[in-house]
Each structure stands twice: as C-alpha cells, then as structure tokens.
Amino acid sequence: MLRSVKGIKDILPDQAAQWHHIETVARTLATHYGFSEIRIPIFEFTELYARSIGGATDIVEKEMYTFPDRDGSSLTLRPEGTAGVVRAVLEHKLLDSPTTRKLFYLGPMFRHERPQAGRYRQFHQFGVEALGIEDPLIDVEIISLLWQFFSTLGLKDLTLHMNSIGTLDDREGYVRKLKGYLSSKLDSLCGNCQRRFTANPLRILDCKVPLCHETTQEAPILIDDLSEQSRIHFQAVLEGLSALEIPYIINHRLVRGLDYYTRTTFEITSPHLGAQSTIGAGGRYDGLVQVLQGPATPAIGFAVGLERVSLLIPENTSHAQIPLFFVAGFGETGKPAAFKLLHTLRQAGIRADTDHKGNTLKALLRTADKLKADYSIILGDDEVRSEHVILRNMQTKNQDTVHFKEITQRIHRGL
C-alpha cells in the first residue's frame, strides 16, 4: 500500500468540520479587526527565505524543502508566511494604500523536522501582518486578536508571555554583556549553544536543554538595556494589554535570533501540549522590509500553528451543520421523481443526498440512518400519483404528508 510521506497528515472527513470552524473563526475575527486576506504562493525562490529568515536559524539550516526548478533556479516550499507576505506587499506596492497594510493568511507550511505530536512536516498556520504602523497600540490590537481567537475557540489555561528585545542598537551592549557572562560557562552549555555563542548568542536564552536553562538563570536581562524609546514602547504595550484585561507574564527568555526583529515579542503557550507547548508566536520586525529591499517600514505580526490549536479544542465542541435531507425514492416513477426533487432541493440551497443503489424503502431508510440524516423524504409510485411526499423525522420517526409544491417552502420555514 502506498502511504503518505512521514510527518505529513491527511485531514480526514470527520475532522474537516473542526478545521472549517477554526478557519472560519480566524477569517471572521481577522476581518473584524480590519485585516484583509492575502493568498501567497506555496513556493518561492529559495533566496527569499534565505535572506529573510536568516542563515543561522533552524529553518534555513536544516528544515527547508528546497529543490531545483527545471531551469536550475532554486525553489523552496514556504516554511512560514511572513517572507512571502512582505515580498508580495513590495511587489504589488500594497504599502501605498491604508486598506492593504493589515493582512492575514491561512494555509500549509513545510518544514523538515522530526515528526512528533504537534510537530509535522506539513502543518497549517493562521498569521497576520500589520505593515507601516509604529504605534504600540497596533501591537496591542494584534495580541488581542490572537487572544480572542483562542478564547472564541474555547482554549483554556493559556499563558501570554511578553518581552521586548529592543532595537539592534539596544542589543549591541546587551549581547556583549551576555557573552561576558557566558564566556566562563561555555562547558555548561549544550553543543548547539556553544555554536550559538558566536553565531547567535541571544538564542542561548531560549534553549530548551535543562543544563543551558540553568546556566542562563542568572544571566543579565535584556529589558534592563532598552533605550528610553524602546522602554516607552514596551510600557505602552503592557498598559494597553492591561486596559483590555488581557493577562500576561514577562518572560526574559523570549528572544528572536535575527537582527531585523525589534521590540515587542510574544508567545502563547498551553500546558496541555507536552513538549510542543507554543501555539502562537509573534512580534515586531521593523527591519525586515528593508532586508527585502523595501523602504524602512515598521511591522508586526504573529503566526499560529493550527494543528496544535486543533489538539486543544474541547472535544464536546459541536460544529452545527445544516440539517441533511435524505431523499428516498423507489419504484418505477418514484425513483426518477425523487432524483428530480433532490436536484430541486440542492438548487434551493438545501443540503440533500440519496442512495442510488437502494431500491426498497427499508434499505433506503437504513442508509439515511447511516448518513445521520435529519429527515427523509419518501417518494414511491403512490406518492407520485397523489403528488405528495412523506416527510419523516429520523429522530422522532414522526411522519407528515406534504404536497410537492410545498416541500421547499416547508423546509425553508423550518418545517
């Protein structure tokens, strides 16, 4: 038997309703907050990701699906959405219009990682990006959208972690201090962090290896080194969150390893996901648009992993569906009349189905039960003669006779 690729999962029909629900909540809320949808391509030139995500990151170092195109150019399946959004914004000059500066996307991302619960090689993200707005209140808006997304879906026990990593200038002094602090402790860091010490020292702070965690326990704190402006920005974000009654904790370990990340960084975690506890993360990236050769443009966004969200949605959440009408036609004239009626119902926007193989009423009603139909519409030769159908409530088994002409009105009126 042929199988799917390791770490790549099917979303089966019994899960699809939940996915629709998640996506509908995402679309509706993002739209309410003034974000417009953008659909960016699944693959781009490798250079886009290499440039924007940066060489010394897990994604670019080992997680990208990269392949040569037939003309030899290098392509990569998108590992995240921000790079593609910024590329599209610059290519189509969307920065010029206030209606296209707040964007959201939904869709699959691809990373070659070790598959485990909550970590896949194809996974889905809901993300938003706001470009060109420096005001700390946009940071608050974005975090509140993320928070409302999770609460609308019924997720519980979440923690919002907040930090500010200042600007590149703010960090220069801090990174020196951090290296000074760690230089005598290199032996107490994991191999990865020993490498990071030169390539990306900030990332040592968020290493998950317990030894590294312990070693950095007393490390200098980044927010102590913020410039006055960054401090004021951070303070305004925190005050905005408090005003909206969104609870948070300050987490000094929350960092981003790349130069273009600035100021606000945040993450939302759940205690119910085991090792993969982060469901959504984001922050400011005031330097990225310039890295991609655009004008200096402040920007902020987040991305949420939807598989992890799906794992956290309470099981008893129902995804109310429109009722299903099963058309049970049998007999020489009943069957074709039923097929015509099925078509009429569907054209009238009513969810309806049948079983072409069923020839007896008993067999047809059995299928209606299996399909969990709410109602069956019974139509045999006798009914054709009298121009009536029998409407059967599949739960209560109550039956009612309805004239041909009245069926769709009756259904639309709520029966």
- Nearest approach, Cβ of 69 to ligand ATP (angstroms)? 25
Q: 81 or 240: whose CB is closer to ligand ATP?
A: 81
- Nearest approach, Cβ of 277 to ligand ATP (angstroms)? 8
- Nearest approach, Cβ of 281 to ligand ATP (angstroms)? 4
- Nearest approach, Cβ of 28 to ligand ATP (angstroms)? 21
Q: 142 or 352: whose CB is closer to ligand ATP?
A: 142
- Nearest approach, Cβ of 161 to ligand ATP (angstroms)? 12
- Nearest approach, Cβ of 182 to ligand ATP (angstroms)? 22
List residues near ligand ATP by CB under 6 A: 80, 111, 113, 118-120, 123, 125, 276, 278-281, 303, 305, 307-308
Q: 128 or 411: whose CB is closer to ligand ATP?
A: 128
Q: 115 or 323: whose CB is closer to ligand ATP?
A: 115
Q: 21 or 78: whose CB is closer to ligand ATP?
A: 78
- Nearest approach, Cβ of 37 to ligand ATP (angstroms)? 19
Q: 78 or 388: whose CB is closer to ligand ATP?
A: 78
CA distance 241 to 239: 5
- The 3 state secondary structure assigned to the chain is CCCCCCCCCCCCHHHHHHHHHHHHHHHHHHHHCCCEECCCCCEEEHHHHHHHHCCCCHHHHHHCCEEECCCCCEEEECCCCHHHHHHHHHHCCHHHCHHHCEEEEEEEEECCCCCECCECCEEEEEEEEEECCCCHHHHHHHHHHHHHHHHHCCCCCCEEEEEECCCHHHHHHHHHHHHHHHHHHHHHCCHHHHHHHHHCHHHHHHCCCHHHHHHCCCCCCHHHHCCHHHHHHHHHHHHHHHHCCCCCEECCCCCCCCCCCEEEEEEEECCCCCCCCEEEEEEECCCHHHHCCCCCCCEEEEEEEHHHHHHHCCCCCCCCCCCCEEEEECCCCHHHHHHHHHHHHHHCCCCEECCCCCCCHHHHHHHHHHCCCCEEEEECHHHHHHCEEEEEECCCCCEEEEEHHHHHHHHHCCC
- Nearest approach, Cβ of 384 to ligand ATP (angstroms)? 55
Q: 192 or 276: whose CB is closer to ligand ATP?
A: 276
Evaluate whether 28 touches 152 at the Cβ level (below 8 Å).
Answer: no
- Nearest approach, Cβ of 208 to ligand ATP (angstroms)? 8
The residue sitting closest to ligand ATP, measured at its beta carbon, is 305
Distance from the Cα of residue 408 to its chain's centroid: 38
Alpha-carbon torsion, ordered 387, 393, 396, 400, to 10 deg = -20
Q: 259 or 374: whose CB is closer to ligand ATP?
A: 259
Q: 136 or 280: whose CB is closer to ligand ATP?
A: 280
